[in-house]
């Protein structure tokens, strides 16, 4: 089955933690700190693979994680960086944030490779935190947390011209006649269940890409049948070629069909409905009524509305040359760049958790010692004798997670906390 949608969970690699260690060498009994830094976590990167044409690789596996960075080591050894995760997708894949539906990236045009989630930065080892007053720091910086996200992958066909119309009006036959595509063709509804593409060669570099979008039905814009799956592919196309059965071989009115399909396009997207549209009145070889010209009736109805109508037969080839050259003329008036979806959601704006390096140690049954470089720096510029300064100090302890760590260590009301010469009693 053609897979043009998938929902997957992606996660970058967590940064490796910094290491706590001290030099222990002969004749150097009290060496300084030498804990190394942690490695960077792996990124999650999407890459366009020209050999892919669907998203089947993501239909049966839903979780993809990059490698975490390694912890730093002794003797200033840097932890190894985590391996990046490369996810290959076909050109035209749109990556959306699953909850909001906002576009993260459009893997089209010049965008062949994009980092979607960045790996966490490795934490600093304790060798970075030695100061004149703290020469044996017993803390290191934890690595940054990984980023994680549920995303929807949507494959939208990239083509200059999209064939639209009800099932069984001859779109597949037309595509096979004018391009190198070889779609399966049969006389029943929904023969085409996946978009087919082919290149129309007009010579002298004037060709263009045409796609057969599977047949639409009433209610498609509301998700009836395979409506949304089909309509999403039309979004990429610059020109819509509306194919109708002018001979009414199945008893349907071609004028009514055109109005119904255009209403579905409008319901789905006003912008899509406003794209240049050409009407191809097909199956004229099957018109036998001499007293009525259905193509003339279609022209009278739609050409005053700005739609150019061509009388064609995909089977015999009648009228195809004139139609294709007119399509080329219309394309020449439009921008050459493919339809690209702009980014609406940037995962890099997520704040990676920054954890302060500090230690919380229980000195005795009722005394706890808290140490860390940013704590020491904060105390240096905060006036704890003022009410405003003390409130700032309390907020700092809460925001950095120190109060939470003290509670985990078992602190109770009335116990003493010491920080670089400062001593206070703990009360909730």
Q: Is 193 annotated as a binding residue?
A: yes
Q: What are phi and psi of 243, to 5 degrees?
A: -95, 130
Is 192 annotated as contributing to ligand binding?
Answer: yes
Instruction: Spell out where 239-343 has E strands.
Output: 239-245, 277-282, 308-311
Euclidean distance between the first and the last CA atom of the chain, given in angstroms as a whole number: 61
Question: What are the Cα distances from residue 105, in Å, to 120, 316, 336?
Answer: 21, 43, 20
Question: Rounded distance, CA 238 to CA 326, Å?
Answer: 14
Coil/strand/helix, residue 210: strand
Residue 321 labeled ligand binder? no
Residue 187 labelled as part of a binding site:
no
Give dist(CA 313, CA 394) in Å, integer: 81
The answer to whether the annotation marks 285 as part of a ligand binding site is yes
Q: Residue 313 annotated as binding?
A: yes
Task: Report DSSP letters for 395-425, one per residue.
Answer: HHHHHTTHHHHHHHTT--TT-EEEETTEEEE
Residue 95 backbone phi and psi in degrees, to 5? -105, 120
Please say whether the beta carbons of 242 and 280 come within 8 A: yes
283 known ligand binder: yes
Contacts of 134 (CB under 8 A, 6+ apart): 371, 373, 376
C-alpha dist (Å) from residue 146 to 38, 43, 128: 14, 9, 23
168 labelled ligand-binding: yes
- 32 dihedral zone (left: phi>0; alpha: psi -120 to 50; beta): beta
For residue 416, say whether it is annotated as part of any ligand binding site.
no
Do the annotations mark residue 314 as ligand-binding? yes
Q: Kindly state the tokens that stand for 244.
A: 């109708």
Q: Is 237 annotated as a binding residue?
A: no
Q: Does residue 408 contact residue 361 with C-beta atoms inside 8 Å?
A: no
Q: Establish whether 14 is an annotated binding residue.
A: no
CA torsion sign for 283, 289, 291, 292 is negative
260 assigned to a ligand binding site = no
Is 190 part of any known ligand binding site?
Answer: yes
Convert 143-158 to b/e letters by CB count within 10 Å (16 or more is b).
Answer: bbbbbebebbbbbbbb
Residue with tokens 């006389």: 187
Q: 18 among the known binding-site residues?
A: no
DSSP category for residue 339? -
Ligand-binding annotation for 353, yes or no, is no
315 is in an annotated binding site: yes
- Binding annotation for Mg(2+): 172, 192
- Binding annotation for GTP: 165-172, 190-194, 212-215, 282-285, 313-315
- Binding annotation: 165-172, 190-194, 212-215, 282-285, 313-315
């Amino acid at each position: 089955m053609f897979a043009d949608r998938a929902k997957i969970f992606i996660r970058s690699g967590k940064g490796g933690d910094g290491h706590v260690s001290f030099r222990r060498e002969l004749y150097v009994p009290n060496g300084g700190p030498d804990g190394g830094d942690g490695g960077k976590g792996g990124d999650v990167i999407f890459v366009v693979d020209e050999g892919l044409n669907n998203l089947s690789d993501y239909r049966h596996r839903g979780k993809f994680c990059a490698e975490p960075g390694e912890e730093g080591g002794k003797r200033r050894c840097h932890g190894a960086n985590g391996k990046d995760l490369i996810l290959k997708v076909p050109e035209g894949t749109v990556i959306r944030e699953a909850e909001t539906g906002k576009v993260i990236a459009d893997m089209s045009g010049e965008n062949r490779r994009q980092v979607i989630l960045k790996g966490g930065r490795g934490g600093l080892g304790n060798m970075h935190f030695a100061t004149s007053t703290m020469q044996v720091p017993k803390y290191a910086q934890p690595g940054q947390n990984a980023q994680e996200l549920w995303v929807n992958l949507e494959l939208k066909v990239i083509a200059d011209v999209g064939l639209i119309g009800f099932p069984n009006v001859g779109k597949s036959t037309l595509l096979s006649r004018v391009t190198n595509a070889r779609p399966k063709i049969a006389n029943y509804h929904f023969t085409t269940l996946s978009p087919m593409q082919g290149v129309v060669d007009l010579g002298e570099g004037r060709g263009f890409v045409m796609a057969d979008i599977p047949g639409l039905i009433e209610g498609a814009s509301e998700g009836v049948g395979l409506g949304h799956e089909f309509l999403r592919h039309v979004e990429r196309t610059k020109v819509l070629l509306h194919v109708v059965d002018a001979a009414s071989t199945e008893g349907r009115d071609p004028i009514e069909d055109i109005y119904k399909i255009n209403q579905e396009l409008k319901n789905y997207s006003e912008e899509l409905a406003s794209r240049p549209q050409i009407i191809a009145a097909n199956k004229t070889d099957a018109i036998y009524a001499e007293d009525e010209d259905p193509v003339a009736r279609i022209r009278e109805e739609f050409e005053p509305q700005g739609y150019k109508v061509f009388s064609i037969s995909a089977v015999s080839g009648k009228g195809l040359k004139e139609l294709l050259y007119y399509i080329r003329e219309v394309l020449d008036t439009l921008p050459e760049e493919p339809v690209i979806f702009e980014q609406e959601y940037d995962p890099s704006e997520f704040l990676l958790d920054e954890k302060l390096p500090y230690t919380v140690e229980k000195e005795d049954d009722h005394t706890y010692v808290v140490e860390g470089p940013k704590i020491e720096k904060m105390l240096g510029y905060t006036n704890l004798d003022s009410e405003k300064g003390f409130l700032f100090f309390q907020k700092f302890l809460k925001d950095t997670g120190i109060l939470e760590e003290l509670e985990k260590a078992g602190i109770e009301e009335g116990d003493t906390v010491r920080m670089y010469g400062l001593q206070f009693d703990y009360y909730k």
